[in-house]
Structure 1
Amino acid sequence: MAQVLEFKLPDLGEGLTEAEIVRWLVSVGDVVAIDQPVVEVETAKAMVEVPCPYGGVVTARFGEEGTELPVGAPLLTVAVGAAAGPAAAPGPDADGSGAAASAVSSEYSGNVLVGYGTAGPAARRRRIHPRTPAVVQPTPTTTAGPTPTAPVTPVPVAAGSPGPVPVISPLVRKLARDQGLDLRRVPGSGPEGLILRADVERALADRDRPAPAAPAPAAAPAPAVAGERIPLRGVRGAVADKLSRSRAEIPDATCWVDADATALMETRAAMNAAGGPKISVLALLARICVHALSRFPELNSTVDTAAREIVRLPGVHLGFAAQTPRGLVVPVVRDAGSRTAESLAGEFGRLTESARQGTLTPADLTGGTFTLNNYGVFGVDGSTPIINHPEAAMLGVGRIIPKPWVHQGELAVRQVVQLSLTFDHRVCDGGTAGGFLRYVADCVEQPAVLLRTL
């Protein structure tokens, strides 16, 4: 007799406790193999394909697309057993439907591979250990003979009908979700009714096109105006939680200074003119920053509130703010203190590209000890950064632009940048924070200062 096994949302690691269903990859009645991806979910860190740890026939799914589930919640049930055995009992799907089919013999073994980012051979992979699946005993049925296990031919979903909607890619589904568009009301123009990006954009344009004005009754009251509600989920929700916690727990203070970056820009130009990989301004600022942290280790620390202790960290893992289509993320450059400017530039480039493609892993986004925020790329001069909890400080860098400056006793046009430091006042006083910021500014103005330590 076949067994019906319940597969639950596994622990995705890195402290993640919930995930949102983005796209089901299987339907009730489909035959799945061991380690076959069955659902695509979005966590606070990345897009994740979750594979099923055993093979058989899908008898039920739990949760519609857009539903947020906690770790340990049921995802689906699979009938597992001898191929010639009796049919498994039908189980309820999210919309009340069910299916019965002969089970495919299989055993669960090994770890589950989970891909981060978009699916494909280039997707980055990591291993997770799902909980042992619960066994659900099936209810015997009176159906005579085994149910055929031939592949199910996909049927186009008509506009307005329940169940999964065929969409060409998760990005198109996300576009519709962000704009509040119900994909079940969008007719697909692709093969077998597949919804394309052009279909979604056409539906959005039709929806947003103003309707012809009609005269309202003179006595009719003015309709109430309701604002748009946007769920705080995924990356946006994680950012909101972290910033709120930072403001609630950390007594921060900010100091700032203007610096003449002309010599730094000339040094970068000379380095790049010498050949080899190009060195970015961010890489030079990072090199200055990690050197300053070696002189002021108080700022490379965290506070253990339970033990009432300041924990000074042995290495510098440098985070940097990166804006992506999914929101603000902070990738981390490991062991930044032991890297050259060329190595830092290469790692910044790799992580920035991964952030744009949505292929960063949770390991790429955690473990930072200090953050460098280059908000100058947005064309602004200054800011008061919010500390990336549980770190103790963040250095902000404004745009580098020509400004009047007194240089060697005379007024001149120089390349000027504003630097700001927000720090946890529990780990140090203003003198330490000011000393760190002043040293960074001195290195920006005179990069030769770093030669002492090379």
Structure 2
Amino acid sequence: MAPVRAFALPDLGEGLTSAEIVRWLVEVGDVITIDQPVAEVETAKAVVEVPCPYAGVVTALAGPAGTTVPVGTPLIAVSAGEPGDVEAVVSSAAISSAAATTEPSPRAGNILVGYGPAEPELPRSRRRRPTPAPAPAPGAGSGRIPAPRDEAAPSGPHAAPPRPGSRAAGSVAVVSPLVRRLARDHGVDLRTLRGSGPGGLITRRDVQTSITGAVPGTDAGPGTGTSLDGEVEAFDAVRRRAARAFSRSRGEVPDATCWVDADATALLAARDTLNAGGAEVRIGVLALLARMCVAALLRAPELNSSVVTDASGQASGLRRHGAVHLGFAAQTPRGLAVPVVRDAHRRDTAGLAAEIARLTAAARAGRLTPAELTGGTFTLNNYGVFGVDGAAPIINHPETSMLGVGRIVPRPWVVDGALAVRRVVQLSFTFDHRVCDGATAGAFLRFVADAVEDPTALLRHL
């Protein structure tokens, strides 16, 4: 019999230790090619397609949508056999019925399950329209976990998912695996709920209302519980990871912040000039600031670095990075993301603008790849979009500096000895005091501010 290879969930990015299966792109019995995407998984940052490096017949999957799989544990098993051997290889990968009676934790992730219909499926190219047949008795067939008779019953992470578009008699209208898992984790029987969504669809809000006992129509947050002492709202994955990153940065980095006001009137005029005449790539203020930051970092390479620590965790050196990988903060429906423009020092202003626009669109759609979310060496944070003038942001560990940009607003400003109304922005620069002193930080910030006030002066340094 052909060998069966297990493909483990790869490392999807710095600090990401697990991912949740959103949906499978293949089924047991499908024939796949090398590097074919087999699943969409959700991390704390984005929804990512995971390709499998093996070719062959899919014999087993880690579980249905909603299962959380730790990094390094099996995600999918593939047999190198020919499609004609599919019945044999699928049967060989089936889990025993004795093991199927035990419901592991959704975070176990170390059991590959050949879940699916009771009978092995053929590749799509060999499938025929099935003929009606009596449902097999529980445990019958290949030994694989039988499909549940009632989709509404809270099921284990290895229960067979319904086929899209199908709905058995007595089942409930639940589309999202996240809603199903929320109900399972809190012991809510979905059969007892009346869905408020279209066509009676049970939504996350319906389950939350059942958990908290809130009156329908009130706003209960995700994972919320009530007590005499008030309301407790559990962190979701995004906020948990952000909390860990912020705590580590603030606990390890002796940061300091300096700031300056700059006249951005000429900056806005330069932007308008560059975009006049139907330019192919529209250049925004963020792209111009990114270009200025890159030029400043090339003059102060110690700020484009990370701190090296010894075995005891003490700082022992400085690693200067040969490339500028510029991260920028982007607000998304899932929270704050920091996409990274790779090799920003090799791009012109139009190239920076195009890449920032592409990454922003991908971030809002939840389609950033792990490589687009990691590896940054410097971060540009435009918090002015939230209507604030200034801030002292927390450094994005393991980076050592960050430029913050406030809103650009009309303010009184002295020009050539006379008072005038100008467009003014506050720039703040937060830096790791272990890598430089105030003179270096001040020179960096002053360089950027001078470029904001006179963008043409930047040409001297390009």
TM-score, reference length from structure 2 = 0.70
8 Å Cα contact 1:395/1:419 also seen in 2: yes
| Aligned-residue offset at 1:280 | 0.2
8 Å Cα contact 2:118/2:147 also seen in 1: no
**Counterpart in 1 of 2:57?**
55
Give the 3-state SS of the residue equivalent to 2:41 in structure 1. strand
Q: Which runs of structure 2 are paired with 1:21-420 in the superposition (5 Å)?
A: 21-23=20-22, 25=24, 30-34=28-32, 40-50=40-50, 53=54, 54-55=56-57, 57-58=59-60, 66-75=66-75, 82=85, 88=92, 90-91=95-96, 92-93=99-100, 95=103, 157-162=150-155, 163=159, 166=162, 172-174=176-178, 185=190, 199-200=202-203, 203=206, 207=210, 210=215, 224-225=228-229, 227-231=231-235, 233=237, 235-276=238-279, 277-306=281-310, 308-420=316-428
| Aligned-residue offset at 1:317 | 1.5
For 2:380 and 2:70, the matched residues in 1 are separated by 33
| Aligned-residue offset at 1:153 | 12
8 Å Cα contact 2:329/2:379 also seen in 1: yes
8 Å Cα contact 1:6/1:74 also seen in 2: no
| Aligned-residue offset at 1:102 | 6.4
| Aligned-residue offset at 1:388 | 1.1
User: Which shows bigger deviation, 295-304 or 224-233?
Assistant: 224-233
For 2:79 and 2:324, the matched residues in 1 are separated by 50
Establish whether residue 445 from structure 1 lines up as the match of residue 453 from structure 2.
yes
Residues paired across the two proteins, number = 395
CA deviations over 1:384-424 (Å, ceiling 9, x no partner): 01111111100000000111222222222211111000001
Change (3 A) 1:18 1:197: farther
TM-score, reference length from structure 1 = 0.71
CA deviations over 1:185-237 (Å, ceiling 9, x no partner): 179999xxx9989541773696576279xxxxxxxxx963464342453x433
- What residue identity is the alignment partner of 2:43? T
| Aligned-residue offset at 1:289 | 1.3
Change (3 A) 1:411 1:78: closer
Change (3 A) 1:77 1:342: closer
Instruction: Provide the alpha-carbon RMSD of the alignment.
Output: 4.5
For 1:167 and 1:421, the matched residues in 2 are separated by 53
Q: Which runs of 5+ in 2 are unaligned?
A: 105-112, 124-139, 166-173, 218-225
User: Which shows bigger deviation, 405-414 or 5-14?
Assistant: 5-14
CA deviations over 1:51-96 (Å, ceiling 9, x no partner): 67452554xx666765543333345678998567696575233648
8 Å Cα contact 2:412/2:419 also seen in 1: yes
The percent of aligned pairs where both chains have the same amino acid is 47
For 2:51 and 2:300, the matched residues in 1 are separated by 46
Change (3 A) 1:160 1:340: same
